Amino acid sequence: MTSSSLHHGYPSQANSGAITHGHEHEHDHGPAKGITRWLFTTNHKDIGTLYLWFSLIMFLLGGALIMLVRAELFKPGLQLMDPNFFNQLTTMHGLIMVFGAVMPAFVGLANWMIPLMIGAPDMALPRMNNWSFWILPFAFTILLSTLVLPGSAPNFGWTFYAPLSTTYGPKSTDFFIFSVHLMGMSSILGSINIIATILNLRAPGMTMMKMPIFVWTWLITAFLLIGVMPVLAGGVTMVLMDRHFGTTFFNAAGGGDPVLFQHIFWFFGHPEVYIMILPSFGIMSEIIPTFSRKKLFGYSSMVYATASIGILSFLVWAHHMFTTGMPVWGELFFMFATMLIAVPTGVKVFNWVATMFRGALSFEAPMLFAVAFLIMFTMGGFSGLMLSIVPADFQYHDTYFVVAHFHYVLVPGAIFGIIAAVYYWLPKWTGHMYSETLSKFHFWLSAIFLNVTFFPMHFLGLAGMPRRIPDYALQFADFNRIVSIGAFVFGASQFLFVYIVIKTIRGGKKATARVWEGSHGLEWTLPSPPPYHSFTTPPRID
């Protein structure tokens, strides 16, 4: 770095969006103009922004699909759609939310925040970063096109169990397979980049055990992604082979094994669950200390707990398959391993509570979402513990109890984590404060109607309603109506979030560099918004 590059990207220039003397140095310039800025960008902030917008669009789209589902389930009988379209909607909702909304949002946050948090100028592999984002719009165009092209879209659930997806799958299954391959590539490239950045670009003096917890959780998440995305790719390739190349991996009539598919899928699928929650744990570990004005309790135990969850996540996959008729010792192993995950997860929750205890708390929007996360994620953890008990799982499995469980960990867990992160760092990104009043409205609407939506699902499942049915027996009618109303209001209130974000980008009260009274860490030493190239000279950490 030349000394002149130090002048670049300081607040006045970044605010105006143009760096006047950038053309003097070809290696060090501000953003390009127009669409090319976004198409060819190698800047971690631009790519982070692209990921986050993509994720928000997918979140609204996946949400819109499930609104149709809830409209159909508003009362018994078929009124709006045929069962096949219903199955397409639930399938696409799952795929879009998992691969389109949650995962890209976390990668977006990683792109934006990791260089800022470790004192790096950018991500380690900026060109690959561009590619890993731009794969995604193509992958989802292919996947979503199946909804409008002739014939059925994928209709076998996001878990695409064989032989429903092989011998019995619609033609569009091949589109689905190709798009999953693309998403997997994008995730693997993104993870490589994150690992390379964290391991190589930390500021001098920032040892591993001094990294912010968000960086730690993402490092472990990235290893999980590299571990399991190839397994998913292998799984979909075997589905493709079974469909078109005469193999019978999953076809019992040809000596294959339909249960093998489930082992492969869940060997990917369970670590995937933690991929969708660990970065949220990291976000909580940033937000809760800030608004408690107190250091995170048990930093090193948080790191070890995250690593234990990461390792255990590879040993519990078959708890999704207790009813497939595994031998009893297999069921016992997976039950014990699953119960064991409650220990590090419990440690994390206790640490967060201990961080809040005897702090000086204030409840701005990020903290409200963090507290809601703590309470409702813990509830999802409890129902998860109940599900781990194999005999009880025989009753819970594939019912609305499971739907309630995983929405309690994913909506307050992953989605609230992302929303909390956006409110927390939006002033840093844009230089403007968001509207605290509007965001409180957004919070209370979301928190209340989330529970109206998902809490009655526990009752439905226990009372005997299976998942993935377009029509139901009359005793389930009352709760379904409440669930649908909750879902409509929850869904509608997310437009408030979109409005708040756009309003904040357009303007608002100027944010200071620290933004929050209790904030700590390198990202708060840079001005808000930070310069286009984050740390051109690495800061020293003592």
Partner 1 sequence: MLSIRLLIGLFAGLTSQMAWADFTCNMTRGVTEISQGIHTLHMTIFWICVAVGVVVFSVMFYAIIYHRKSRGAVAANFHESTVVEIIWTLIPFAILVGMAIPATQMLIKMDDTKTDSEITIKITGYQWRWEYEYLGEGLRFVSSLTTSQDQIHNRDIKGQHYLLEVDNPLVLPIGKKIRILTTANDVIHSWWVPALGIKKDAIPGFINEAWARIETPGTYRGQCAELCGVNHGYMPIVVEAKTPEEYQAWVESKKGKVRSGP
Positions marked catalytic: 93, 122, 158, 186-187, 270, 272, 274, 285, 319-320, 345, 348, 467
Q: Please, what's the b/e burial string for 200-215 (b: 16 or more CB within 10 A of its CB; e: otherwise)?
A: ebbbeebeeeebbbbb
HSE-CB at 415 with a 13 A cutoff on CA atoms is 26
Stretch that binds partner 1, among 44-52, 64-72, 325-333, 427-435 (CB under 8 A): 325-333
Pick 99 or 352: Cβ nearer partner 1: 352
The smaller minimum CB distance to partner 1, of residues 32 and 389, is found at 389
Output the smallest distance, CB 260 to partner 1, in A: 11
CB of 65 to partner 1, least distance (A): 17
Closest contact distance (angstroms) between CB of 89 and partner 1 is 13
Minimum separation from the CB atom of position 353 to partner 1 (A): 5
Residues 188-247 that bind partner 1 (CB under 8 A): none
Q: Token digits for 529?
A: 């918004």
Single-letter amino acid, residue 440: K
Among 210, 468, 514, 520, binds partner 1 (CB under 8 A): 468
Partners of 433 in the beta sheet?
none
Coil, strand, or helix at residue 418? Answer: helix
- Residue 125 vs 287, nearer CB to partner 1: 287
Residues near 474 by beta carbon (within 8 Å), at least 6 away in sequence: 76
β partners of residue 295: none
Angstrom distance (rounded) from CA 533 to CA 248:
52
**359-384 burial: b if 16+ Cβ within 10 Å, else e:** beeeebbbbbbbbbbbebbbbbbebb
343, β-bridge pairs: none
| Nearer to partner 1 (CB atom), residue 185 or residue 489 | 489
When binding is defined by CB under 8 A, the residue of 394, 437, 495, 537 that contacts partner 1 is 394
Contacts of partner 1 in 91-150 (CB under 8 A):
none
Q: Nearest approach, Cβ of 482 to partner 1 (angstroms)?
A: 6
**Token digits for 241?**
């082979």
Can you tell me whether residue 302 is helix, strand or coil? helix
User: For partner 1, how many residues bind (rule: CB under 8 A)?
Assistant: 100
User: Is residue 171 a contact residue for partner 1 (CB under 8 A)?
Assistant: no
Residues 6+ apart with CB under 8 A from 434: 365, 423, 426, 427, 500, 501, 503, 504, 508
Q: Which stretch binds partner 1 (CB under 8 A): 15-23, 29-37, 381-389, 508-516?
A: 381-389
> Is residue 488 involved in binding partner 1 (CB under 8 A)?
no
Q: Does residue number 71 form part of the binding site for partner 1 (CB under 8 A)?
A: no
Task: Write out the H or E segment, with its range, that includes residue 530.
Answer: none
Binding of partner 1 at residue 467 (CB under 8 A)? yes
324 is an interface residue for partner 1 by CB under 8 A: yes
Least gap, CB of 33 to partner 1 (angstroms): 44
Scanning 182-190, 271-279, 352-360, 523-531 for contacts with partner 1 by CB under 8 A, the matching segment is: 352-360
**Shortest distance in whole angstroms from residue 286 CB to partner 1:** 15
**How far from chain centre, in Å, is Cα 181?**
19
Binding residues among 407-446 for partner 1 as defined by CB under 8 A: 441, 444-445
Single residue of 226, 257, 307, 433 touching partner 1 by CB under 8 A: 257
For partner 1, the closer CB: 57 or 448 = 448
Chain centre to alpha carbon of residue 232: 17
Token digits of residue 146: 């199946």
Any contact of residue 399 with partner 1 (CB under 8 A)? yes
Q: Which is nearer to partner 1, 225 or 367 (CB)?
A: 367
| Residue 391 contacts partner 1 per CB under 8 A | yes
Measured in Å, how far apart are the chain's first and last C-alpha atoms?
23
Distance separating alpha carbons of residues 289 and 360, to the nearest angstrom:
10
Is residue 340 a contact point for partner 1 (CB under 8 A)?
A: yes
Residue whose token pair is 């909804």: 147
Q: What residues have CB less than 8 Å from 281, skipping those under 6 apart? A: 213, 217, 302, 306, 348, 417
Q: Would you count residue 36 as binding partner 1 (CB under 8 A)? A: no
Instruction: Establish if 300 lies at the interface with partner 1 (CB under 8 A).
Output: yes
Nearest approach, Cβ of 499 to partner 1 (angstroms)? Answer: 17
Whole-angstrom distance, CA of residue 500 vs CA of residue 495: 9
Note whether 395 binds partner 1 by CB under 8 A: yes
